[in-house]
Structure 1
Amino acid sequence: MAQIKINALKLNVVTDHGLFETFSTFTNGLNIVRAKNSTGKSSFTNSILYALGVEELLGGTNGKTMKPVLREELTYQGNSYKVLESNVEIQISNNNGNTISIRRWITSSTREEKLIEVEYGPSLTEDKKFKKQDFYVHLPGSAQNDAGFHSFLAEFVGWDLPLVPSFEDKERLLYIQTLFPLFFIEQIKGWSSFYAQPTSNYGIRELPTRAIEYILGLDILNNSKQKEELRIEKALISQEWSSLINAIREKANIIGATIEGLSDKPELLSNHEIYVYDKNQKLISLKERISNILYEFNERSTVVRSIKDVEKEHEARINNIENKVLALQSEANSVRQDINASIINQNTLDANRSQLQQDLKSNQDVKRLLDLGSDKSLYVAQGICPTCNQKIHETLLPQDIEFQPMTLEENIKYIKDQLATLKFALSQSANVVAEKNKRLRAVTEALEEERRRLRSLKLELREDPRMLSNLDIEETLNLKWKIKELQEAENSFEEFGKKLDLLKKQWEQYLKSTKKIPEEFFSQLDKTKLETFEKRFRYYLEQFGYSSTPLNDISISLDKFTPVVRGFDIKFDSSASDFIRLRWAFALSLNYSTNHYGGNHPRLVIMDEPGQQQMNINSTGKLFYSLSELKSQSIIASSLTLEEIKSITQKIEVNIIDLGDEYIIKPQTN
């Protein structure tokens, strides 16, 4: 069980006129640190953050986050003294009863601000020597390495910090700094929101939500993590699948192949076939095409003939090829006409889509204005003629025909349906054009080949009949080259197929993993914690005198886990003083829920000047009473007078630490 119990705090400042210091011890339960405004009260509480290496809540890192009185010049009783060296010491305990003392320098000529010294024992409250060890903070590895202070502190407190999704689609540690805004409310930013984010979000997606989930110890943290991991896995598989599909299509385009059954998205039952055009421009499988060319090549390579031997064959081929050229020219023209018609159809569909998009925008704008209650420049929408101001009908049909025109909502839906249909039609049209272009390419290539062959035949017939037929040799070599090209493509497709099969297995495992995620987003324990959180939040608001909104309208949102009113941000419905009450209730409810049902709250609440916005002293008294009831330690820095504090804490157990009305850092008294 996580716990941070602060036993003692000490500030040491060495000036050019000696040592100044302040020292306080704290008890379990409610501790009120009382001091007059502008006397160092905030410096005192903020030094807790600095000692623990989480001063990022103050807007930066290292010594510059501390007040000048601890770094540059200290004023006491009207005199100013130069600061030579300063540090802060804090003694804390955990749930196991182990105690350590932490020392960190604010300014020093020999010690870096990133160095933290840990003493394994209560050196601030006992005059003994204990084992010491140095750690570093605000350097790479501070949260994970053995010498990193935050790694050590998380283990000491009892925090097993999870890995959470980041903006880079990777996992990042939920850093210790991200948890402190939920139980340490500093004076500058802490009262302005339910989660006063540190200077950085550490690249973590939805940081406040992740921090609240962890503090409450919700099971959905694991569920959310698994879902985010699966989301990333899906994106990676889909991206790799898409790249592979593009590579297959590019290879197919090189050889003029057509692919059927190739899915653009991962699909377990995806089974594609590859077809190419044969010499008659008919689609056949790639394997069959290779087999046919191999047979033809083997037939040709068995004998080399002379021109005299092929003369009659050449003359017959010339007649056949001339007829074939005419047929191919006609077919090419026909395919071109089909492509042009398809492109015209595409342009028409695209123009219709543009018009529908404009109609949709116009209808949505009218509906938006009407929903807002507009009655300006919308006469037609209201059924009024803009010229004569007479009522007009919404249809041109005869009025004795019973016809109900569509409402704006129905019209918007109808246009969206039409747009979806057009989008599908455009996609199909693009596919048709692509296939027709492949067909045209195959026909034109065949046409050019036949024309070349025709020229070669005629030329060869003019040569010496005793010479070898060069056309036979050339066509044999062309067949050999074509076989090589298609076989290389076939090998590539086989490799692509293996990669697709591997992706299918990954996709199958992804689908199985999605089925293992609980259908119920929240576990039963999560529901109990959140119900308790919400009920206690309302209870505290009632105790503190919240009045801006009916309590029954307030709930804890189930996505961000912050208070809302009828689904909207509660801050906008609350007065300034009531928002402070909301902040009190939120901090206490987090603590209460984890106290009763488990979680990772450190059972510590620290508030610097909770009496913001001229808070009613009775409300502050209720806050003190509620804090005293928690089974936790609380440290409250307040500028109320000692008499005011005593008057509102008469009936509760409290440790009042009165630092007086002068500056709290005073000369050492020995």
Structure 2
Amino acid sequence: MNLKVRHLRLRVQTGQGMFGADIPFSNGLMVVRAENSRGKSTAVQSILFALGLERMITTQPASALTSAMRDRLIYDPDTKAETAVVSSRVSVSIEGVNGEVATVTRWVVDDKLGPNLVRVQHALINDITPQTPADDYYVGRQGGASRERGFHVWLAGFLGWSMPELPAREGRTSQLYMEQVFPLLFVEQRRGWGGIQAQMPAFSGVTEVRKRAVEFILALEVGQHELTRQRLRAHEAELAQAWHLSVAAFGQSLTGSGLKALGLPERLQTTWPDENHPAEVSVSLGDDTWQPLDEYVAAASTELARLDAPETNPRADSNVSARIIETLDTARQVRALDLALREELFRDETELRAIDHRIASLADDLRQHQDIVVLQGLGSSVTEQLAADCPVCHQHLPASLLPGEVPTMTASESVDYIKKQIDLFEAMRNDAEQAASAKRERWVVLRQRGDALTLQVQALRDDLSLPTGGLAAENAALRVELRDRLLRLEGVVERFDELQVKLEGLAAESAAVKAAIKDLPKDELSDEDRKKLRALHRSFVEQLRAYDFGSFSNDMVQIGYDDYLPRRDDFDLQADISASDSVRVIWAYLLGLLEVGEEFHTNHPGFVVFDEPKQQSAKDISFAALLKRASKGASSRQVIFATSEPLETLNSMLEDVPHTLHVVDGYLLHKLV
């Protein structure tokens, strides 16, 4: 069990003074009893509001509570005279995983503090002192479930939950939100009794969100299997794209060179190279025939060796010798420029990485300061510590170094300043990238010129080793041309070998992905999942029998393995039963989830709330059986009932049932002395 409500405190300032209520809560069955319209639902909804879960029932935070907390309050029970609400707040002490405690406070009405602000004090409500640590968070707005200062991020950690990313519409993923899980834990009177998960919001776009919520509560492996399957398929699509682009780019690089690639499939393979259909690059021989590149290179190398055979040349041409010296000098200059430019490129790339790091750091600073602005806008006064460091150099500035009259930037001013810094550094990066790109182009030209000078020096030296005459000049020209062609073709061979290595890696990854997909359970449900669903079925049917379910035989009920909901003959159970039996189904299903969590490892917090569970004139015998069932396992669960059942009848039902009863005398909100 990793969620327990320990204390609820309501405070309402009115023109007639301060009104309020305090309700301590215990483990096991906790019954809050009050007459109708006396504040019973206010108490239950206040827990919902304090935990930031009001989107289960409304999109307006304050609308989740009754008018006594947000508008007007009856201060005279006899005359029903009302007074305006000036300010109000809800505080709930809760206990989470590993016994950690905290008190959560939200303001319903306040001149300075907004309803989306949540203050967390790390102590039970009666133990809070001025020295108790406190943190402010926000809820009900973008980032509330994903960013560091989002309240539901804190609450998930407090409960020991890790909210999953799940398949959503349009091929994306989205987080499963707490408001989509709590309909399986919390049934609110006005909307919750319309069916299982009747309060389910669908704003996240998660597909089959009701099913995913059950999978999360029961920690079914099938949910992770589905997400894993989607991620594997997405990775497979990335591999296919990488394969296609690599093959297409290589083919494009051969355009206009008299070369073509054979045996390179455009679609992703799981085995490569293909021994039955090996890939190769071929060279056109000038007619309709083609020769494999490796054979052509071997033949050209043999021909070059023949042309390079040593020949006696006793005479030295002084003009050729001078040209060799001049060309060598030019080649040395080009190599020096090459080296200098490479060093500049290395420095430029280092500078670009530093700028990227600075932009990323500024972006993180911007998010933090924007959170501060949000919290301050909601009225938070405990965020000063978040802005204690300089937003530029991140140095902590002791107060002793700053004279009192020296103004410091507000959080809002820091946001504007950081945005300008980001714009500045992005402009710097753009300029640096353009300069580096130009240098890279120059470097390519220098490399090409250096290669050409190397070939020229070799050709001139060849001229010195050959006798004067047309044959020597022709041989020299042939050698230069042949060396140039071999240099280019050897580059193609190198790129083709690199492509083969890359495709082999992509194929191996593809095979591993397909194997991983195949290894996932074919019917998705693991053996452990099936055990949990069988346990849910047993608990569900036992409860229906105890609650006098009468629409048809209990033996005809199953828990569907496709959506985990109760069914009869493959049809939705609640679509074909009476209203009172539909309420019994909700009782049995939600308590069944709780009991599965007590038998297996799940994400169920051991916490369930029923607001006015005796709906649709359910029989007393059924309600009594519900109370008895809810009281089981008192040390490991907390089941909260809010009811207006007559006190005498309720006491009779609770006889011999372990419970804690809190009776509201008159109105829940009463004048405080």
2:654 maps to 1:649: yes
Name which of structure 1's ranges 480-489 and 590-599 shifts more when overlaid on structure 2: 480-489
Residue in structure 2 matched with residue 625 of structure 1 by the alignment: 628
Where does 1:112-151 land on structure 2 (aligned, <5 Å)?
A: 112-124=114-126, 131-138=132-139, 142-143=144-145, 147-151=149-153
| Alignment CA distance shift 1:69-1:478 (3 Å) | farther
- Rate the CA distance shift 1:290–1:61 in 2: closer, same or farther, 3 A: farther
Equivalent residue, structure 1, for 2:644: 639
| SS of residue in 2 equivalent to 1:53 | coil
Match of residue 153, structure 1, among 137, 142, 155: 155
Match of 1:285 among 292, 299, 314: 292
Is 2:243–2:266's contact at 8 Å kept on the other side of the alignment? no
Residue 476 of structure 2 is matched in structure 1 by: none
Partner of 1:665: 669
Q: Deviations over 1:31-69 (max 9, x none)?
A: 222233344332221110111122221222533433333
- Counterpart in the other structure of 2:550: 547
Work out whether 1:561 is the aligned partner of 2:560: no
Structure 1 match to 2:25: 26
Give me the TM-score of the superposition, normalised by structure 2. Answer: 0.64
Alpha-carbon distance, 1:477 to partner? 13
Matches within 5 A, 1:139-538: 142-143=144-145, 147-157=149-159, 159-167=160-168, 173-196=175-198, 198-248=200-250, 257=260, 259-260=262-263, 262=265, 264-271=267-274, 272-275=279-282, 278-286=285-293, 493-494=496-497, 496-511=499-514, 513-514=516-517, 517=520, 521-538=524-541
Q: Which amino acid is 1:541 matched to?
A: L
1:165-189 Cα deviation digits (max 9, x unpaired): 3437666554433321111111243
Larger deviation, residues 169-178 vs 494-503: 169-178
Change (3 A) 1:480 1:98: closer
Find the counterpart in structure 1 of residue 356 from structure 2.
none
Q: What is the alpha-carbon root mean square deviation over aligned residues? A: 4.1
Equivalence for 2:4: 5
CA distance in 1, matches of 2:270, 2:97: 52
Question: What is residue 573 of structure 1 aligned with on the other side?
Answer: 576
SS in 2 for 1:86: strand
The separation in 2 between residues aligned to 1:40 and 1:291, in whole angstroms, is 94
Quick one: which amino acid aligns to residue 69 of structure 2?
L
Query: What is the total number of aligned residue pairs between the two structures?
Result: 499
SS at match of 2:604: coil
Matches of 1:247 and 1:67, distance apart in 2: 66
| Alignment match, 1:378 | none
Shift of 1:548: 2.9
* Cα 1:626/1:515, change in 2 over 3 Å: same
Q: 1:480 to 1:131 in 2, by over 3 A?
A: same
Classify the secondary structure of the residue corresponding to 2:41: helix
How far did residue 531 of structure 1 move? 1.4
Q: Deviations over 1:543-569 (max 9, x none)?
A: 222233432332222233222223333
Deviation for aligned residue 1:247: 4.2
Secondary structure of 1:179 counterpart: helix
Deviations 1:441-483 (Å, cap 9, x if unpaired)? xxxxxxxxxxxxxxxxxxxxxxxxxxxxxxxxxxx99999999
Amino acid at match of 1:625: K
Q: Shift in Å at residue 538 of structure 1?
A: 1.1
Distance 1:196 1:238, change over 3 A: farther
Please tell me whether residue 102 in structure 1 is matched to residue 104 in structure 2: yes
Cα distance between partner residues in 2 of 1:43 and 1:556: 34
Which whole-Å CA distance do the structure 1 matches of 2:578 and 2:122 have between them? Answer: 47
C-alpha contact (below 8 Å) 1:169/1:232 kept by paired residues: no
Note the C-alpha offset of 1:14. Answer: 0.8
Helix, strand or coil: the match of 1:60?
Answer: coil
Query: In the alignment, what sits opposite 1:424?
Result: none
Distance of 1:277 and 1:579 partners within structure 2: 79
2:565 corresponds to 1:587: no
Equivalent in the alignment of 1:81: 83
CA deviation vs aligned residue, 1:582-618 (integer Å, no higher than 9, x gap): 1111100000111122322111110112223333333
For residues 131 and 617 of structure 2, the distance between their equivalents in structure 1, rounded to whole angstroms, comes to 46
- Partner SS, residue 631 of structure 2: helix
Identity level (%): 27
CA, structure 1 residues 242+577, in 2 after alignment: closer, same or farther (shift >3 Å)? farther
- Does the residue aligned with 2:194 lie in a helix, a strand or coil? coil
Amino acid of the structure 1 residue aligned with 2:92: I
Shift in alpha-carbon separation, 1:59–1:642, aligned structure 2, 3 A: same
TM-score (norm 1): 0.64
How has the CA–CA distance of structure 1 residues 485 and 96 changed in structure 2, closer, same or farther, with 3 Å as cutoff? closer
The answer for unaligned runs of 5 or more in structure 2 is 308-478
Closer, same or farther in 2 for the Cα pair 1:295/1:192, shift >3 Å?
Answer: farther
Residue matched to 1:398? none
- The alpha-carbon distance between structure 1 residues 244 and 546, as it changes in their structure 2 partners (threshold 3 A), is farther
CA contact (8 A) 1:34 1:637 kept: yes
Distance 2:249 2:560 in 1: 46
What whole-Å deviation, never above 9, does each CA across 1:125-155 have from its counterpart, x for those lacking one?
x686661302202256544666543333333
Secondary structure of the residue aligned to 1:507 is: helix
Give, in angstroms, the shift of residue 91 of structure 1.
1.8
Partner of 1:325: none
Q: Tell me which residue corresponds to 1:51.
A: 50
Q: For 1:210, what is the secondary structure of its paired residue?
A: helix
Q: How far, CA to CA, are the matches of 1:208 and 1:244 in structure 2?
A: 42
Amino acid at match of 1:659: V
Q: Distance in 1 between matches of 2:567 and 2:205?
A: 26
Counterpart code for 1:665: L
Contact 1:588 1:627 in 2 (8 A): yes
Q: Distance in 2 between matches of 1:156 and 1:547?
A: 41
Q: Which has the larger radius of gyration?
A: 1
Which amino acid letter does the alignment assign opposite residue 633 of structure 1?
A: Q
Inter-partner Cα distance in structure 2 for 1:619 and 1:28? 23
Aligned residue identity for 1:646: N
Of 287-296 and 268-277, the range deviating more from structure 2: 287-296
Q: 1:601 to 1:246 in 2, by over 3 A?
A: same
Which residue matches 2:65? 66
Equivalents in 1 of 2:241, 2:528: separation in Å?
A: 37
- Structure 2: distance between partners of 1:278 and 1:41: 93
Structure 1 window deviating more from structure 2 (501-510 vs 285-294): it is 285-294
Q: Structure 1 residues 43, 287: CA separation in 2 closer, same or farther (over 3 Å shift)? A: same
Asked if structure 1 preserves the Cα contact closer than 8 Å seen for 2:247 and 2:264, the reply is no
- For the Cα contact (< 8 Å) 2:195–2:583, is it kept in 1? no
